[in-house]
A and B are shown apart, each in its own frame.
Chain A
Amino acid sequence: MLYNQPNPLEVKVLSRRFTLPNSQSIETYLANDGYKALEKALGMTQDQIIDEVKASGLRGRGGAGFPTGLKWSFVPRQSPKPKYIVVNADESEPGTCKDRLLIEYDPHQLIEGVIIAGQAVGAEQGYIYIRGEYRYLIDVMDRAIDEAYARGVLGDNVMGSGRKFHLASHSGAGAYECGEESALLESFEGKRGNPRIRPPFPAVAGCYQSPTILNNVETFCAVPAIFLNGGAYFAGLGSPKNGGTRLFCLSGHVNKPGVYELPMGFNLMRMINEVGGGVRGGKKLKAVIPGGSSCPVLKADECDIAMDYDSVAAAKSMLGSGGVVVMDEDTCMVNAALRIMKFYAHESCGWCIPCREGTTWLKKLLTRFHEGMGQRSDIVLIGDLSKNMLGRTFCPLGDAAAMPTIAFVEKFKDEFEAHLDGKPCPYEKSNRMVAA
């Protein structure tokens, strides 16, 4: 059973099998177009496969939105080294809970996408890095992988093609940082999850320093639909340069929170009101984080935008990982900024000093502020400190902490000022903070 009711406005492509009985099983998958896309791809050249993905307009669903076909084309296929496909199932961006469903309800769709990626670059081995907290999904994935081996979909002779492809799951052990591609690879190799300097990017020197395609779960899950119906079909589902649909995770103060598959470019206000059933308790909308906690917050009057990478970027935020966090008029924005900063301070791996120190000091400053002991000069200091973190770290965690903070301070300066001079937080109900 699904965790939330579907909505009639959804366009179900990746989630179309979610409600079928035994949707996890290979029988259900095979009876519903399963592995037909792979069959097609096995008859295509590597260039044709990459061109099809390029034509689909698919962009990375992990958050950065990099064109997937282009990313695949960076893999030096002539390299004598083995090539690897690595799936990032380390879903841990606050506000995001979609990859969980993609694995839970349709693990074979992911396997098929991964094998097709393998064909695009001549890889014979893939790994699925699943966050440790998703233990039950490792079991789901292992069962599906065993089924695929038993049916000859995985193994030394993929669907009778004579080509090899092997796949295995891999458990993480709790670290947000490992959702960043180079840290994930370090962690995968059995080390601390510190990021690597890039370039070289994983396409050239990734898993075991070999050429690697590394994408998010949802990105790979979109691949079968592209080959089944053609890149042009997939591109046509979304908005220009933003192909397909995506799984948006609505959370926070909405009447019907849930994961909904909507076309790229779907209007954010419609998403909140018509899909999410509007703001809870008939309250007014104050702000929305459009793509997970690292994306700059949007004020209510900035929310009439198309939810695709370019439109959200034009509104000076990011589409990110699809985690849409809705906040009503009673939400204290200092509190929200503080909670998010506590998260980044906890998760900073400590490798780069601007991030390690910056997140810690921002947490201290915001805590002081929220407790009513802030000074007017702190407002400037919070902004300055954040801006000095931007672009000064190996991985984007520093930016991910700084960018939302800058937006909170700039857009809700009045709320920060309302906390000055020992005044209690004006939003008593959301004033609850917890020591972490």
Chain B
Amino acid sequence: MTFSPELEARFEKFLAKYPADRKRSAVIPMLIYGQDEVGAITDELINEVAKRTGATPLQVTEVVGFYSMLHRKPQGKYHVQVCTNISCLLVGGAELWEQACKKTGLGHKETSKDGLISLEEVECMGACSWAPAVQVNYDFYHDVTPEQLDKLIDGLAAGKKPEQIAEVTKVSC
């Protein structure tokens, strides 16, 4: 399996972090960064990670099933994650989630037909004091109102990149 030169360099760096007989430690970092490039955890990716870390494909597969951010099927190009855990719930997280479903016509862990947007109701993402919070892929949005979420989704659907959508500001970069 071939990866981009950037990902190859990253994998090499990962494998160098751990003692020579402990390469299996690189399994999870390789899976999550690999997934970002490949689009999902494919059998091919599992075999490749297994080969490079000295784990068996089965050992890698059982890891994939455990972690909520690893998925076997591709998600949307923009994976919109709405937190409804307690701190977000108290200040409108549930309403925000309902709005996200209504706006996109999607439900929990569903992806739009064009593969552009997918939706997930997620657990605490660590933005409790700036709730309700949304993450699009790895970018955080704080204190999100339903109106802002609408504009964010409209912008993404119109083919804009998140940073081009002026009405909402990413807080992490």
- Closest Cβ neighbor of A99 among chain B residues: B126
A190 within 8 A of B: yes
Which stretch (B21-29, B110-118, B148-156) binds chain A?
B21-29
A242 within 8 A of B: no
- Closest Cβ neighbor of A257 among chain B residues: B129
- Closest Cβ neighbor of A142 among chain B residues: B13
How many whole Å from B9's CB to the nearest CB in chain A?
A: 13
How many whole Å from B56's CB to the nearest CB in chain A?
A: 11
Query: Is A94 within 8 A of B19, CB to CB?
Result: no
0/1 interface trace, chain B 54-73, chain A, CB 8 Å (1 if under):
01000100110111111000
Query: Is B124 within 8 A of A93, CB to CB?
Result: yes
Taking CB atoms and an 8 Å cut-off, the chain A residues in 236-258 that contact chain B are 249-253, 257-258
Instruction: Give the distance in Å from the alpha carbon of A371 to the alpha carbon of B140 in the complex.
Output: 33
Query: Is A252 within 8 A of B91, CB to CB?
Result: yes
A198 within 8 A of B: no
Which stretch (A35-43, A72-80, A173-181, A387-395) binds chain B?
A173-181
Instruction: Give the distance in Å from the alpha carbon of A99 to the alpha carbon of B63 in the complex.
Output: 26
A65 within 8 A of B: no
Taking CB atoms and an 8 Å cut-off, the chain A residues in 162-213 that contact chain B are 168, 170-176, 187-193, 208
Query: Is A257 within 8 A of B126, CB to CB?
Result: no
A340 within 8 A of B: yes
0/1 interface trace, chain B 118-145, chain A, CB 8 Å (1 if under):
0001011111111100010011101000
Query: Is B22 within 8 A of A257, CB to CB?
Result: no
Contacts of B84 in A (CB 8 A): 339, 434, 436
Contacts of A434 in B (CB 8 A): 84, 94, 97-98, 121
A259 within 8 A of B: yes
- Closest Cβ neighbor of A323 among chain B residues: B128
0/1 interface trace, chain A 396-436, chain B, CB 8 Å (1 if under):
00000000000000000000000000000000001011111
Instruction: Give the distance in Å from the alpha carbon of A252 to the alpha carbon of B93 in the complex.
Output: 11
A261 within 8 A of B: no
Instruction: Give the distance in Å from the alpha carbon of A104 to the alpha carbon of B90 in the complex.
Output: 26
Query: Is A251 within 8 A of B70, CB to CB?
Result: no
B158 within 8 A of A: no
How many whole Å from B75's CB to the nearest CB in chain A?
A: 13
Query: Is A208 within 8 A of B86, CB to CB?
Result: no
Partner of B126, one of A92, A127, A346: A92
- Closest Cβ neighbor of B101 among chain A residues: A434
Query: Is A173 within 8 A of B135, CB to CB?
Result: no
Instruction: Give the distance in Å from the alpha carbon of A187 to the alpha carbon of B68 in the complex.
Output: 13
Query: Is A173 within 8 A of B32, CB to CB?
Result: yes
0/1 interface trace, chain B 24-57, chain A, CB 8 Å (1 if under):
1111110111000000000000000000010100
Query: Is A94 within 8 A of B25, CB to CB?
Result: no
Query: Is B90 within 8 A of A136, CB to CB?
Result: no
Contacts of A127 in B (CB 8 A): 17
Contacts of A271 in B (CB 8 A): none
Instruction: Give the distance in Å from the alpha carbon of A253 to the alpha carbon of B121 in the complex.
Output: 22
Taking CB atoms and an 8 Å cut-off, the chain A residues in 131-180 that contact chain B are 131-136, 168, 170-176
Query: Is B126 within 8 A of A252, CB to CB?
Result: no
Contacts of A432 in B (CB 8 A): 94-95, 98
Contacts of B173 in A (CB 8 A): 136
- Closest Cβ neighbor of B97 among chain A residues: A434
Instruction: Give the distance in Å from the alpha carbon of A346 to the alpha carbon of B130 in the complex.
Output: 23
- Closest Cβ neighbor of B66 among chain A residues: A192
Instruction: Give the distance in Å from the alpha carbon of A318 to the alpha carbon of B55 in the complex.
Output: 40
Query: Is A251 within 8 A of B126, CB to CB?
Result: no
Query: Is B131 within 8 A of A436, CB to CB?
Result: no
Query: Is B90 within 8 A of A190, CB to CB?
Result: no
* Given A171-B33, A208-B19, A257-B131, A193 and B66 contact (CB-CB distance below 8 Å): yes
Query: Is A4 within 8 A of B22, CB to CB?
Result: no
Contacts of B2 in A (CB 8 A): none
B87 within 8 A of A: yes
How many whole Å from A270's CB to the nearest CB in chain B?
A: 18
Query: Is B32 within 8 A of A132, CB to CB?
Result: yes
Query: Is B129 within 8 A of A191, CB to CB?
Result: no
A347 within 8 A of B: yes
Query: Is A331 within 8 A of B90, CB to CB?
Result: yes
5 pairs from A and B in contact (CB 8 Å cutoff): A133-B125, A133-B126, A175-B68, A257-B131, A434-B84
Chain B residues with a Cβ under 8 A of chain A: 17, 19, 22, 24-29, 31-33, 53, 55, 59, 62-63, 65-70, 84-87, 89-91, 94-95, 97-98, 108, 121, 123-131, 135, 138-140, 142, 171-173
